Structure 1
Amino acid sequence: MSLRVEQSLSQLLHEALVSLRTLGKRSVLALLGIVIGSSSVVALINIGHNAAVDAAMIFKDMGTDTLVAQFPPKGNSNTPMRASLDLEAVRRSVPGIAHIGALSVFGGPIVFHGRTTNANFVGTTADIKDAMRLVVRDGRFLSSFDASETYGVIGDQVAQALSTPGDPLKLGDRIRINDYLFLVVGILHNQPRAMLMPVQANESLFIPAEGMRRIFPTPQIGNVIIRAAPGENMERIAHDAASALKSQLTDHDVDIQVPQQMIDGMTRQSRTFAYLLLALGAISLVGGGVGVMNVMLMNVSERRREIGIRMALGARQRDIRNLFLLEAVTLTAVGALCGAVLGMTAAWLYAWLSGWAFALAAGALPLGVGSTLLVGLFFGIYPAVAASRLQPVEALRDE
């Protein structure tokens, strides 16, 4: 019995392939529509996934345990921001803060052995190294004992810009800023970009906060970086830290960014974007399904006499229905496989051109191939049922 069923299925599949081959260009055009629809679904799902992954990477290196405080003026106040804050008082009043540091930023040229490059001059406290996850490649970072010294820790990109093959910038060298010489006591590793950070470490020179007056006469704290201890409630720390900082300020507010809230918002936005792309792919796939239905209806119309002969020889309605339904599914299955390959290639190419790291979305292939087969089945039902309902006598009269 199973052998008979297997032979019957193989025979039906063989007849379906022969029938599709006889359709010639019409079959190819319908197949092309399915390939385009299937590849659109697979490619757009992957593009949406890669876009979301790339957006999430912006926050990855900053860490969800890091907060950045800004100090916008209250109302129309023109009072400059303070040059220092009691950060230890904030640490004592807010349980859960592991590291806290302040930044004062000013830009300008650095000169070393006649070579000049622009950089951010960052006046900072010692704890900023751990708050910003800075990694020192050579030497050390600034300490609390360096407050009155003309010491500097230089970012990797700035160090490279000031170096030449025969004369690299190294520990112990002195660089000139305005009329002051700063001793390089540390060189940072190349740091990944963190978009929420107010400064990029690679493009900066870190000096003691007290030494900023040598470069700029009225330095102001621009940001406070807070890193929480593991497992802490970030929203609570942000609220408590804002209250502690406001108690030290009269003319400025405290605005603290919570990365996890931004990540959640970006995740929702990425999900909406993915749904939009999926809808566009589905529209293209439905267009391909309509093409399959048109080809199958034409196929039924041209094979009315064959249908009549099959029925006269004993074929049942379900046999005729299954034959044409199998033809539609076979056509869409070939299109789904070709579309999957084309869609993956298109998604990889798009990621490469965009500079993203390509990652295969888990649901791309199952959803792309599965939806294509369902579309082929749905649009193939009507022609198959129409063929099975033909009356043998009427079908045999057709020339």
Structure 2
Amino acid sequence: MSADPRRLRPRDALRVTGVGLRARPLRATLSALGIAIGTAAIVAVLGLSASSQAGLLAEIDRLGTNLLTLEAGRSVTGEPSRLPAEAPVRIGHLSGVQTLAHTALVRGRSVYRSPLIPVTDTGGLQVRATSLNLPAVLNTGVARGDWLNAATARVPVAVLGAGAARRLGIDRVFPGRRIWLGGRWFAVAGVLRSAPLAPEVDESALIGYPAARRYLGFTGLVRGRPTAGLPSSVYVRAGTDHVAAVQALLARTASPEAPDEVDVSQPSDALTARAAAAGAFDSLFLGLGVVALIVGAVGVANIMVISVLERRSEIGLRRALGATRGQIRSQFLGESILLATIGGVVGVLAGAAATAIYAGTKGWAVVIPAQAWSGGIGSAILIGALAGLMPAVRASRLPPTVALRTA
């Protein structure tokens, strides 16, 4: 300590500040733990939210934002409408369209693992006839087995979407694997990877148009002639710079007579909105983190009040030796801030570690926003200052004679 009691070097002040914490390590550790838990919760929530959004946006970029989906909507009377059979050909002639694929929902047909399953237990699965280039347009692939080809599209062979395979309990493909589809056995050729931009495909059994016509009676009329069933969904890949222009023309091009009965959407917009909305669910966890911080603040305030009561003799002796009220106040306030800062730093490290571990298991980029760690430490310091202010002021107001007499 310096000769002048009014001047206390920073190194000496820090050493004096740490005396109280070192003298009661268990109590200090438990108090700092509350701050650490709250800070870790806040950092982890913000970090996981940012990491998940970064992962989802990266997935959207991989899948492409230039996919447009055109579906048959409803007529004026509220009944399901139908796309013209010529719709895919017309759309293919639009400037800016790179490629397209289409599927047709086969209504009234269900998929089961065997004919012994009750007909009402459909599991929400659908049967869809599909063009052969569907995986390429959706930017997905086959997880197991093989995709349809010109030969298997004409015979009772199906490829399952990822969700359909999961619901049917089919996790591998081998010769002889079959499903009960539309009242007859269909061989399972493969299972698709998940298609986030076309969730309806994930929940479907996909067969070729010729097979749907021949084995399921799925037909339509084009200029009075029977043909394979009419498409119900068209997936269009447009040039990146032409997405808006193509989207504006799709409905009129697909169905010039009834463009209002056609729904056009950009699936990546839904995923982007999901990424933005994911933060809404974080408010609950952030609230829990704030509650933990408040509990930690109460713990810090409690230990500082008790510390003042237990250390009155120390306070009285320091005052008798010439310590000023400001130095006493700074000592106890510094202890509170140091205790909260230690808890905040530990909490930030724990939250960052939790974020890194969880994001690593999901394959996300680890993103810890600057406001997460800086806000965590800053809030810990603020809490320490507020929690220690009243005990520090109370300690500084103890007269030396009273403090020594009541010790």
Question: Could you tell me which residue of structure 2 aligns to residue 98 of structure 1?
Answer: 98
CA–CA separation in structure 1 for the residues paired with 2:128 and 2:366: 41
Q: Bigger CA drift: 32-41 or 16-25?
A: 16-25
- The question of whether the paired residues in 1 share the 8 Å contact of 2:161 and 2:194 is answered with no
Question: Could you tell me which residue of structure 1 aligns to residue 252 of structure 2?
Answer: 243
> Per the alignment, in what secondary structure is the counterpart of residue 315 of structure 1?
coil
Question: Could you tell me which residue of structure 2 aligns to residue 194 of structure 1?
Answer: 196
Q: TM-score, normalised by structure 1?
A: 0.72
RMSD: 4.5
Evaluate the alpha carbon distance shift between residue 28 and residue 177 of structure 1 in structure 2; reply closer, same or farther with a 3 A threshold.
Answer: closer
Question: Could you tell me which residue of structure 1 aligns to residue 288 of structure 2?
Answer: 280
> Per the alignment, in what secondary structure is the counterpart of residue 198 of structure 1?
helix
For 1:218-229, what aligned pairs fall within 5 Å after superposition? 218=219, 219-229=229-239
Evaluate the alpha carbon distance shift between residue 110 and residue 240 of structure 1 in structure 2; reply closer, same or farther with a 3 A threshold.
Answer: same
CA–CA separation in structure 2 for the residues paired with 1:381 and 1:79: 69
- The question of whether the paired residues in 1 share the 8 Å contact of 2:57 and 2:272 is answered with no
Q: TM-score, normalised by structure 2?
A: 0.71
- The question of whether the paired residues in 1 share the 8 Å contact of 2:352 and 2:368 is answered with no
CA displacement at 1:344 relative to structure 2: 5.2
- The question of whether the paired residues in 1 share the 8 Å contact of 2:340 and 2:384 is answered with yes
Deviation readout 1:327-356 (Å, 9 max, x if unpaired): 11222233224434554566678779xx84
Evaluate the alpha carbon distance shift between residue 37 and residue 128 of structure 1 in structure 2; reply closer, same or farther with a 3 A threshold.
Answer: closer
Evaluate the alpha carbon distance shift between residue 12 and residue 108 of structure 1 in structure 2; reply closer, same or farther with a 3 A threshold.
Answer: same
Question: Could you tell me which residue of structure 2 aligns to residue 20 of structure 1?
Answer: 21
- The question of whether the paired residues in 2 share the 8 Å contact of 1:41 and 1:285 is answered with no
CA displacement at 1:140 relative to structure 2: 8.0
CA displacement at 1:225 relative to structure 2: 0.8
CA displacement at 1:98 relative to structure 2: 1.2
CA displacement at 1:292 relative to structure 2: 0.9
Name which of 263, 266, 270 aligns with 1:258: 266
Residues 1:317 and 2:325 are matched in the alignment: yes
CA–CA separation in structure 1 for the residues paired with 2:205 and 2:89: 25
In the alignment, structure 2 segments of 5+ residues that lack a partner are 1-7, 114-121, 220-228
> Per the alignment, in what secondary structure is the counterpart of residue 232 of structure 1?
helix
Aligned residues: 372
CA–CA separation in structure 2 for the residues paired with 1:58 and 1:300: 56
> Per the alignment, in what secondary structure is the counterpart of residue 368 of structure 1?
helix
Question: Could you tell me which residue of structure 2 aligns to residue 38 of structure 1?
Answer: 39
For 1:355-374, what aligned pairs fall within 5 Å after superposition? 356-357=362-363, 360-363=366-369, 364-374=372-382
Deviation readout 1:168-223 (Å, 9 max, x if unpaired): 88xxxx99988999999xx778523425342139x64441x354211233434221
Evaluate the alpha carbon distance shift between residue 350 and residue 126 of structure 1 in structure 2; reply closer, same or farther with a 3 A threshold.
Answer: closer
Deviation readout 1:3-53 (Å, 9 max, x if unpaired): xxxx95454444444312444664344233223322322333344445545
- The question of whether the paired residues in 2 share the 8 Å contact of 1:66 and 1:228 is answered with yes
